[in-house]
């Protein structure tokens, strides 16, 4: 019996390895080409990314018509809840991490901007007049928000900041935002706590309503912060105009914005007890299947391969019955 059990385990392990290698080869095939999936295409086909004809003022504009059937619920949400997404990147990761964003979830935003360390009109990417480095990150983020206010404040009702290794599920974000008004002063994300400051994680992405964008712009030039962390600094500035992070957990108390990739949250023990997330979580940190809402919105520290993989799982893979 013991020999049979060991033999069975070995067979399962070998089959799992072959499946992993096969899936990795599929991903490599698609990562070398700029494709995006059509969620409602019954043939599971892939389409070339429409880049050049929809670039305006350094931003990519998407209509959603190739993603959703006309008049479908997803299409109605797309058009009734316009979202501008902006991504912090660098010249070194523009054509790897940022490209993955552009190929996958970025096309589900109405407007998509990349702020990099150098201008790249063909991508496109916008350079901000701020020195590089962690110590200047808050100034860079402030400059990005000011640019958005001046050039794109009327293009959307909601505005989300993300990193180039953040994966967003835009349909779930729109579903979440459908219960709120962008004319209210709202600030959404993964609520954390540090040195008596209530803030939203920058890596997991945070959302401004249009009214919050207006309020932040009004104080951005004069607001200073003792923290070098841009997410803590942004929250400190917003607090001065009476805006604090709102609770983004679902009805079951599960988080929707996540500071790590899905497997880190889902597999118990992947996040060590000495990890900063345990010290800074606003509420009790849960690992395992109870970690994450079924309507999760964001995952940080998503590698380029994981980004294409998540996109495949969400928008291409279908059940047989």
Q: Taking a C-beta distance cutoff of 8 angstroms, is the pair 176, 264 a contact?
A: no
Residue 25: the pLDDT is 52
> 222: buried, middle or exposed (CB in 10 Å: 19+, 13-18, 0-12)?
exposed
Which DSSP state fits 292? B
Q: Taking a C-beta distance cutoff of 8 angstroms, is the pair 187, 245 a contact?
A: yes
Q: Is residue 40 part of a domain?
A: no
Residue 218: CB partners within 8 Å, gap ≥ 6? 241
Q: Is residue 186 part of a domain?
A: yes
Confidence of residue 6 (pLDDT cuts 50, 70, 90): very low
CATH at residue 157: 3.90.550.50
* Residue among 203, 232, 175 nearest 298 (CA): 203
Q: Which two tokens stand for residue 275?
A: 């990890």
Residue 31: the pLDDT is 43
The string of pLDDT tens digits covering residues 19-70 is 454 455 544 444 443 433 344 443 333 444 443 448 888 999 999 888 888 8
Question: What's the domain range around 225?
Answer: 53-247
Average pLDDT of the segment spanning 134-145: 87
Q: Is residue 184 part of a domain?
A: yes
Q: Is residue 146 part of a domain?
A: yes
The string of pLDDT tens digits covering residues 249-261 is 999 999 999 999 9
Q: Is residue 143 part of a domain?
A: yes
Average pLDDT of the segment spanning 281-304: 96
Residue 51: the pLDDT is 37
Q: Is residue 118 part of a domain?
A: yes
Judge whether residue 135 has pLDDT over 90: no
User: Any idea which residue has 């700029």 for tokens?
Assistant: 34
Q: Is residue 213 part of a domain?
A: yes
- What does the alpha-carbon distance between residue 128 and residue 45 come to, in Å, rounded to a whole number? 38
Average pLDDT of the segment spanning 137-161: 95
Q: Which two tokens stand for residue 195?
A: 């040195």
Q: What percentage of residues in the chain have a pLDDT greater than 90?
A: 68
Judge whether residue 110 has pLDDT over 70: yes
Residue 72: CB partners within 8 Å, gap ≥ 6? 40
Q: Which two tokens stand for residue 129?
A: 């007049």
Average pLDDT of the segment spanning 69-98: 94
Residue 102: the pLDDT is 96
The predicted model scores a pTM of 0.83
The lowest-confidence range among 7-21, 207-221, 266-280 is 7-21
Residue 49: the pLDDT is 45
Residue 245: the pLDDT is 98
Give CA separation, 62 vs 23, 105, 122, 209, in Å: 29, 11, 16, 20
Q: Is residue 263 part of a domain?
A: no
- What does the alpha-carbon distance between residue 302 and residue 261 come to, in Å, rounded to a whole number? 5
Q: How far is CA 87 from the centre of its chain?
A: 9
Give how many domains the chain has, as a whole number: 1
Confidence of residue 309 (pLDDT cuts 50, 70, 90): very high
The string of pLDDT tens digits covering residues 166-183 is 999 999 999 999 999 999
């Amino acid at each position: 019996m013991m020999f049979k059990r060991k033999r069975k385990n070995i067979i399962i392990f070998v089959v799992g390895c072959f499946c992993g290698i096969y899936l990795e080869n599929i991903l490599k095939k698609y990562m070398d080409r700029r494709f995006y999936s059509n969620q409602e295409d019954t043939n599971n086909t892939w389409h070339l990314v429409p880049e050049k004809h929809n670039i305006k003022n350094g931003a990519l504009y998407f209509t959603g018509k190739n993603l959703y059937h006309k008049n479908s619920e997803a299409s109605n949400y797309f058009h009734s809840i316009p979202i501008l997404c902006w991504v912090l990147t660098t010249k070194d990761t523009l054509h790897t991490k940022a490209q993955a964003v552009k190929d996958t979830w970025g096309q589900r935003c109405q407007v998509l901007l990349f702020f990099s360390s150098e201008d790249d009109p063909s991508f496109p990417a916008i350079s901000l007049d701020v020195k590089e480095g962690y110590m200047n990150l808050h100034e860079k983020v402030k400059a990005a928000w000011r640019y958005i206010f001046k050039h794109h404040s009327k293009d959307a009702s909601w505005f989300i900041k993300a990193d180039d290794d953040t994966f967003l599920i835009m349909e779930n974000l729109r579903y979440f935002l459908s219960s709120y008004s962008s004319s209210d002063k709202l600030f959404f994300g993964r609520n954390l706590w540090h040195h008596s400051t209530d803030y939203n994680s920058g890596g997991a992405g945070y959302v401004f309503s249009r009214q919050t964008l207006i309020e932040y712009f009004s104080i951005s030039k004069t607001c200073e912060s003792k923290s070098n962390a841009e997410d803590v600094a942004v929250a400190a500035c917003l607090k001065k105009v009476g805006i604090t992070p709102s609770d983004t957990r679902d009805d079951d108390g599960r988080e929707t914005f996540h500071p790590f990739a899905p497997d880190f949250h889902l597999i118990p023990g992947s996040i060590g007890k000495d990890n900063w997330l345990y010290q800074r979580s606003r509420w009790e940190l849960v690992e395992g299947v109870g970690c994450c809402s079924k309507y999760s919105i964001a995952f940080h520290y998503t590698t380029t391969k994981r980004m294409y993989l998540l996109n495949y799982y969400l928008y291409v893979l279908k059940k047989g019955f």
